[in-house]
């Protein structure tokens, strides 16, 4: 691997900015010494942080701007106000210009997606992008998408999501042929959502060597890890993610409150500390930090806005791996494989019926 | 309250049948002595169980049949095979004929819904029914619907769900004006799902005295209890429910496994037992057992098929309360309130545009 992995970082994104982004990048660099960084934001703030991380400083270049996209801006506002000047825009644009291989931002999700679409455009064969993330399961980890980028979509859209998600799973989990399922509900003979069935038939017919289509997965199948990749359109994907996150938080709070109510339980907690630590580790949201925008001509990784440096470092790791293991090439190969037909060219003339 | 509450029970529904249904009914009767029961199923099995519960026997009548709907039957098969003869059909039919006020079954959900629609028909102003259930939250309990009866639906459908759900919350939680929200995702300026916005506007404009419309609720807001009633169409409602259930199970299993791995943790568990018991109690699926089919000219309560007698008793309690506090009348009043317009008559001529 002679090539360096060049990572552009929006150093004004997130709740804190450079004071999280720079130490986070330093942690990721320690794990992946073949990285280089482009840090976009206020030069003095970034350089003050870099002074504490000489190894990172040696492989970083700073692009100065003092225009930030606010966490509250609507996508259209961000596009208007932050165009060509904001740290978010300039970091994405570095990927477009070929100065970086991937961009990581902890900024406003809607703005990041809008700018990414505007600057990078979608891949051939993909109409609309998706957000994918790693979901911790009982058996390990799975990729789940779309977590909210695009509401609804036809069978072709869902099949493209399946292809992109399994490319991501093969890159992140080193799986030659990830198991892929569509999120669905168990009721029989229901009307609606023919597109899910149709997308399943497309995948089955395509019989791609890079993914194994296993059928439908119900909501409780995600956490069981029945598939390496669970695919759905963005509305229900977002609902699934938020419901699961909310439940996890709710249970943790209930347990903490219950333990706090009796001194016997508090003693028990001390003895069982290692078990609680193991659980926390397993469900640590930091470790699944890093939503990947898929379907664009460039990879954009979104870190959670409230993350600390350690959490941001995981998002940078995700960005690194998408480049090192060539996510984009994998996606393109699968979307446009010779003799394909999985994702037909939308401009092809339709058969006369 | 001079009137008795007459409850029809499908004594062949669920994984076990009469041996769960009869003792479950006995437990509920102990809590609500003004109940009467109609037990539909194999007479000898039911009477053998009733022999152990003389108080229940004194207020019960048995309708014999030996035709059961299988848990695996598709709704159309069940309708064909179980028509007019199965315990499920006869129990629902008792409500239609006015011999019972409510029916409770632990049988096959799809079959139960299909038969209930066929026999009872939908209410005026309601096109398609919904399944509602109680969701345990950090603050208490909320009603969530639709959990999978009807996929998709326009603004009018969603507004009707809001009305029916809040009638259920006012009945079960004794709330004069439940807070109602629509499940939605946070992203701004997204296309699609205009029907949710439109339904919200309808509710706001109607300003009903029986419910307080509070706007949108995200997936993680359900468990926080930000609304007493959370409304969505059946696909995303089912996904939300199953994702949350799956996560709860996943965390419990992870914690159990982590505790089992060290003897120190096992000792800790013994000390903290009361806290774990409290958590289990709070999240006990038995206590939120009892999905209510809303939108029909009669109330049907679905118990989970795998429940024991104690769990089934909670579903019977739900059935009792819907009758005692007059759920159907409340729904009808809200749907057809004087000067209404919340749920316009679909047969009314449309304005020329």
* pLDDT exceeds cutoff 60 at A9: yes
Cα distance from B30 to chain A (closest Cα, Å)? Answer: 30
Residue B260: predicted pLDDT: 82
What is the DSSP code string of A195-264? HHHHHHHHHHHH--TT-EEEEEE-HHHHHHT--SEEE--HHHHHHHHHHHHHHHHHHHHHHHHHHHT-HH
Task: Please name the residue of chain A whose CA is at the shortest distance from the CA of residue B187.
Answer: A110
Positive/negative CA dihedral, A54, A59, A64, A66:
negative
Q: Which residues of B touch A265 (CB under 8 A)?
A: 271-275
Task: Say what the pTM is.
Answer: 0.88
More confident residue, A11 or A340: A11
Write the pLDDT tens digit of every residue in B100-113. Answer: 999 999 999 999 99
- Considering only CA atoms, which of A143, A144, A146 is closest in space to residue A157? A146
CB B219 within 8 A of CB A147: no
* pLDDT exceeds cutoff 50 at A221: yes
Work out the pLDDT band at A339, boundaries 50, 70, 90.
very low
Cα distance from B183 to chain A (closest Cα, Å)? Answer: 8
A interface test, pick of B275, B293, B302, B304 with most A CB neighbours within 10 Å: B275
Most confident of A220-234, A256-270, B268-282: A220-234
Q: Which residues of B touch A251 (CB under 8 A)?
A: 247-248, 251, 279, 283
* pLDDT exceeds cutoff 70 at A190: no
Residue A192: predicted pLDDT: 59
Question: Among B254, B255, B275, whose Cβ lies nearest the Cβ of A259?
Answer: B275
CA–CA separation, A221 and A125 (whole Å) = 29
Q: With an 8 Å Cβ cutoff, are A247 and B249 in contact?
A: no
Query: Parallel, antiparallel, or unpaired: how do β-strands A35-41 and A60-64 relate?
Result: parallel
Any alpha helices (H) in B71-108, and if so which ranges? Answer: 75-82, 87-96
Task: Please name the residue of chain A whose CA is at the shortest distance from the CA of residue B277.
Answer: A258
Q: Which residues of A touch B269 (CB under 8 A)?
A: 268, 271-272, 275
Query: Phi and psi at residue B107, in whole multiples of 5°?
Result: -80, 180
* pLDDT exceeds cutoff 50 at A348: no
Cα distance from B191 to chain A (closest Cα, Å)? Answer: 7
Of the ranges A263-277, B180-194, B265-279, which one carries the lowest mean pLDDT score?
B180-194
A interface test, pick of B235, B267, B276 with most A CB neighbours within 10 Å: B235
Of the ranges A81-90, B183-192, B254-263, which one carries the lowest mean pLDDT score?
B183-192
Q: Which residues of A touch B270 (CB under 8 A)?
A: 268
Calculate mean pLDDT across residues A165-170: 96
Residue A352: predicted pLDDT: 39
CA–CA separation, B34 and B2 (whole Å) = 9
Long-range CB contacts (within 8 A, 24+) of A152-156: A152/A233, A152/A234, A152/A235, A152/B192, A153/A127, A153/A128, A153/A195, A153/A233, A154/A195, A154/A198, A155/A195, A155/A196, A155/A198, A155/A199, A155/A201, A155/A202, A156/A127, A156/A199, A156/A202, A156/A343, A156/A344, A156/A346
CA–CA separation, B101 and A339 (whole Å) = 62
Task: Please name the residue of chain A whose CA is at the shortest distance from the CA of residue B234.
Answer: A185
More confident residue, A248 or B179: B179
Of the ranges A279-283, B128-132, B139-143, which one carries the lowest mean pLDDT score?
A279-283
More confident residue, B342 or B329: B329
Question: Among B186, B270, B274, whose Cβ lies nearest the Cβ of A262?
Answer: B274
CB atoms within 10 A of CB A85: 13
What is the DSSP code string of B224-270? HT--SEEE--HHHHHHHHHHHHHHHHHHHHHHHHHHHT-HHHHHHHH
Distances (CA, A) of B283 to B107, B141, B192: 23, 11, 34
Q: With an 8 Å Cβ cutoff, are A240 and B243 in contact?
A: yes
Taking one residue from A and the other from B, the number of pairs with CB-CB distance under 8 angstroms is: 239
Q: Which residues of A touch B224 (CB under 8 A)?
A: 246, 250
Q: Which residues of B touch A218 (CB under 8 A)?
A: 238, 242
Calculate mean pLDDT across residues A67-85: 92
Alpha-carbon radius of gyration of chain A? 21
Calculate mean pLDDT across residues B194-215: 92
Calculate mean pLDDT across residues B25-31: 98
CA–CA separation, A326 and A318 (whole Å) = 12
Cα distance from A12 to chain B (closest Cα, Å)? Answer: 21
More confident residue, A298 or A344: A298
Cα distance from B178 to chain A (closest Cα, Å)? Answer: 21
Work out the pLDDT band at B2, boundaries 50, 70, 90.
low
CA dihedral A137, A138, A139, A143 (to 10 degrees): -10
Q: How does A216-243 read in b/e, with b if 16+ C-beta sit within 10 Å?
A: bbbbbbbbbbbbbbbbbbbbbbbbbbbb
Work out the pLDDT band at B348, boundaries 50, 70, 90.
very low
């Amino acid at each position: 691997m002679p090539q360096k992995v060049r990572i552009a970082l929006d150093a004004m994104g997130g709740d804190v900015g450079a004071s999280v982004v720079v130490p986070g990048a330093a942690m990721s660099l320690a794990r992946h010494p073949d990285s280089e960084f482009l840090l976009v934001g206020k030069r003095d703030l970034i350089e003050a942080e870099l002074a504490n991380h000489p190894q990172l400083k040696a492989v970083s270049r700073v692009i100065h701007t003092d225009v930030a996209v606010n966490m509250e801006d609507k996508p259209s506002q961000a596009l208007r106000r932050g165009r060509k000047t904001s740290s978010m825009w300039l970091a994405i644009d570095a990927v477009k210009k070929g100065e970086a291989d991937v961009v990581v931002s902890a900024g406003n999700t809607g703005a990041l997606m809008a700018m990414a679409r505007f600057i990078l455009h979608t891949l051939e064969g993909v109409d609309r992008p998706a957000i994918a993330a790693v979901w911790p399961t009982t058996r390990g980890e799975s990729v789940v998408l779309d977590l909210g980028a695009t509401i609804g979509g036809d069978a072709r859209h869902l099949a493209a999501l399946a292809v992109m998600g399994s490319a991501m799973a093969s890159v992140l989990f080193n799986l030659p042929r990830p198991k892929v399922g569509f999120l669905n509900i168990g009721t029989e003979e229901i009307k609606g959502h023919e597109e899910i069935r149709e997308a399943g038939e497309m995948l089955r017919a395509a019989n791609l060597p890079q993914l194994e289509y296993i059928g439908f997965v119900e909501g409780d199948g995600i956490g069981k890890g029945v598939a390496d990749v669970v695919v759905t359109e963005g509305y229900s994907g977002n609902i699934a993610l938020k419901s699961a996150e909310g439940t996890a938080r709710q249970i943790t709070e209930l347990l903490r409150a219950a333990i706090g109510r009796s001194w016997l339980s508090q003693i028990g907690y001390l003895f069982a500390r290692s078990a609680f630590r193991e659980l926390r580790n397993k469900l640590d949201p930091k470790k699944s930090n890093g939503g990947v925008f898929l379907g664009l001509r460039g990879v954009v990784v979104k870190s959670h806005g409230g993350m600390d440096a350690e959490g941001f470092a995981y998002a940078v790791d995700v960005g690194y791996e998408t480049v090192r293991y060539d996510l984009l090439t994998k996606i393109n190969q699968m979307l446009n494989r010779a003799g394909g037909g999985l994702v037909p060219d939308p401009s092809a003339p339709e058969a006369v019926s």
